[in-house]
Structure 1
């Protein structure tokens, strides 16, 4: 895969009030990936633009849910929902696909 990303899988944590929460791990894991930019969505009412992309990850990548994040080209991306596993006809995992929205 042509790109290298840093994955921040979700972890269980506690907020300042003692409530259980899920958030991206403070420690990232490097992974090969193919990141494909998608058309950005612009909101003319707020004059903002949201960058979007899809990331294709190897089967060895950790399972990522909606609380995970990914770092690519110096920017942080959050997952739009959980990553989707894609298996072959024999049930062997081939790759993960994650829809992304840029955070920073």
Structure 2
């Protein structure tokens, strides 16, 4: 079994208004991850995800691609804390920051 990993990612480019958060929710839930994705007021998308390291790696790969209409120009990742994961089951859309 893969070790548990928590990660925060910031994605820049054409990632708002193109279904990017919904794409991340589908991908993350398909991978069995917990967490959330939200738009940021600077035009980027932020996400926090928790789960097996192999599934986190797959989500990051998917986030670099995005949905067909998105254009990702930068993705940055950093460690996240357990307290940043919402109580809700699965991976959800969070309010814009």
Which TM bucket (shorter chain)? 0.3 to 0.5
State the structure with more CA Rg.
Answer: 1
Q: Which has the higher contact order (CA 8 A, sep 6+)?
A: 2
Query: Higher helix fraction: Structure 1 or Structure 2?
Result: 2
